[in-house]
Structure 1
Amino acid sequence: MTRIAAAAAHFGRDLEFGLARIAKLIADARAEGAGLLVLPDATLGGYLADLRHPDPDALPPALKPDDPLIMRVAALAAEMVVCFGYCEAAIDGEDPDRYNAAVCVSGDGVLGRHRKVHLPAGEVAAYSPGDRFDAFDTPVGRIGMLIDYDKTFPESARSLALDGAEILACLSAWPTSITNRAPRMAQDRQAKLFDLYDQARAAENQVFLASSNQTGAMGGMRFLGQAKVVSPGGDILARTWAKAGLAVAEADIAAEIDRARRVLRHLHERRPDAYRGNGGTV
């Protein structure tokens, strides 16, 4: 059995403060017996302060893929698997120079990486897009990572599922609606979509999904929280609602996926030759 934890928490620009918060969340997840902890997008350095008009002089600090801070999180993770987000500086010789990125670590080092592929309008001014979705093996199972807007596109999660992902780690800095604010979060359009995408991506691929998110506010944005763990049938097994904290659920990963696919096997029953616009690959 594996315990999966997804965090709802606030992270800002202060890297040392962020590292201390990561240490606390890892300790809390360890106390819950978690083997996997998924932290939010922009865990190290915080998210953009203004999604519509990002200030080029107030962007999150960019870290190299081998930055010592990443290795410090790996040391804190020890026996656990921990996924978290950061702003990645380009490797020497790469152009352009910034990516919204996620990394998965354990005490053994880096297990997997992802650069956000789908950038909403505001992020285009601050980041460059990644170009692939790859699953990777970990002690808790094969994982694929998505960064917030990525999960809006079914092809993203499907690509990872086809690459053998058993768990989708969805790291987000997902705010309430910026253009159509609701009086209560429960009525917010983005809050509804956040839950809908989490459940749909899990159910349509018959995999587990751990969805983390930022809380609190950054600039003019208010983040949703709503961290959760979703089953291969699309059921929410644990959630935080809007509050900071951990959503923790225990499952036999392989057995639950096999049970979900016992009769209906979505990945095997696809008809790529009938689908438009994807080259017959998804």
Structure 2
Amino acid sequence: MSLKIGAVAAGFTRDLEFDLSRVEALIRHGRREEIQLLVLPDAALGGYLSDLSRPSPDDLPPALSLDDPLIPKVIAMAGEMVVCFGFCEADGGERYNTALCVTGDGVLGRHRKVHQPPGERSVYAAGNGFEAFETPIGRLGMMIDYDKTFPESARALAVDGAEVIACLNAWPTSITNRAPRMNEDRQSRLFDLYDRSRAAENQVVLVSSNLTGSIGGMRFLGQSKVVGPGGDIVARTWSKAGIAVADLDVRAEIDTARRVLHHLAERRPEVY
């Protein structure tokens, strides 16, 4: 059965009302395109950190609890669509970089970012696992940007039965050695490499969304994409805002990729 997927590239800010209106516009656009799975970037509500070297305590993303009124608003907007989005979650005295997957019926899954670059560790607590979950469009797993640098993240989700992995990103250009042109930037190459590798090595569909524009000293890559289980990019946005849309028969694509070489079945975990 065919599944229409949208990977969003867009910019978000500290202004939650602005962000909510942008989310609504993107969902409305997705509905016109008959998209069934829409993956928004990390930090879609409140934006990302403005500095990874020394995050300022005076300029952090607003922290929202799961019962904050904005969360039910996004849930209501989703309706029949499966929507993934990221935000800074408040839980007790901790902050988490969190992704939610929702429909109009409520929350289907939650992921707290596990792997953190140095600047995040002073702001966010780390999540402690990767779990796939059932949705109306199949079994899904989620990662948040730096998680995909570690092959174990996507592998854990694939072993748990995820056929589609949504990777929500706030992925910037290089902090230490920024190239004059974005497509020549080291992080631009790595971003694509990780997306394609995680899809191919697990033979799953990977949906990679990302921020665009800038916050403080951070400039984001865009490059949202849908990657097939053979590692082929089937739709992408490049660096500008937009939605990469792909129409795939996920089960058929995975069955074809695993017809001769079935990576998950051929693992040897006892020797790793």
Fold match by TM threshold 0.5:
yes
Please tell me the root mean square deviation across aligned C-alpha atoms, in Å: 0.7
Q: How many residues align?
A: 271
Deviations 1:60-107 (A, max 9, x none): 1111122221111111010000000000001x4xxx510000000001
Question: 2:177 maps to what in 1?
Answer: 180
Q: 1:71-220 to 2 correspondence within 5 Å?
A: 71-90=72-91, 92=92, 97-220=94-217
- Distance in 2 (alpha carbons) for counterparts of 1:187 and 1:46: 25
* Amino acid aligned to 1:14: D
Q: Secondary structure at the match of 1:212?
A: strand
Matched, 1:264 2:261: yes
User: What percent identity do the matched residue pairs reach?
Assistant: 69
- Return the offset for 1:200: 0.3
- Distance in 1 (alpha carbons) for counterparts of 2:233 and 2:239: 15
- Distance in 2 (alpha carbons) for counterparts of 1:148 and 1:246: 18
- Distance in 2 (alpha carbons) for counterparts of 1:69 and 1:253: 32
Q: Secondary structure at the match of 1:99?
A: strand
The runs of 4+ residues in structure 1 deviating greater than 6 Å are: none
Unaligned runs of 5+ in 2: none
Deviations 1:128-155 (A, max 9, x none): 1000000011111111000000000000
- Return the offset for 1:258: 1.0
- Distance in 1 (alpha carbons) for counterparts of 2:32 and 2:195: 26
- Distance in 2 (alpha carbons) for counterparts of 1:70 and 1:208: 27
Deviations 1:209-229 (A, max 9, x none): 110000000000100000000
Q: Secondary structure at the match of 1:196?
A: helix
Question: 1:63 maps to what in 2?
Answer: 64
Deviations 1:215-244 (A, max 9, x none): 000000100000000000000000000000
- Distance in 2 (alpha carbons) for counterparts of 1:142 and 1:60: 30
Deviations 1:232-275 (A, max 9, x none): 00000000000000000001111111111111110010001111
* Amino acid aligned to 2:76: A
Unaligned runs of 5+ in 1: 276-282
Question: 1:50 maps to what in 2?
Answer: 51
- Distance in 1 (alpha carbons) for counterparts of 2:269 and 2:149: 20
Q: Secondary structure at the match of 2:9?
A: strand
- Return the offset for 1:58: 1.4
- Distance in 2 (alpha carbons) for counterparts of 1:237 and 1:66: 37
- Distance in 2 (alpha carbons) for counterparts of 1:51 and 1:167: 30
* Amino acid aligned to 1:268: A
- Distance in 1 (alpha carbons) for counterparts of 2:33 and 2:255: 26
Q: 1:25-44 to 2 correspondence within 5 Å?
A: 25-44=26-45
Q: Secondary structure at the match of 2:5?
A: strand
- Distance in 2 (alpha carbons) for counterparts of 1:58 and 1:97: 17
- Distance in 2 (alpha carbons) for counterparts of 1:73 and 1:80: 11
- Distance in 1 (alpha carbons) for counterparts of 2:204 and 2:146: 19
- Return the offset for 1:57: 2.0
Q: Secondary structure at the match of 1:249?
A: strand
Deviations 1:177-226 (A, max 9, x none): 01001111111000000000000000000000110000000000100000
TM-score (norm 2): 0.98
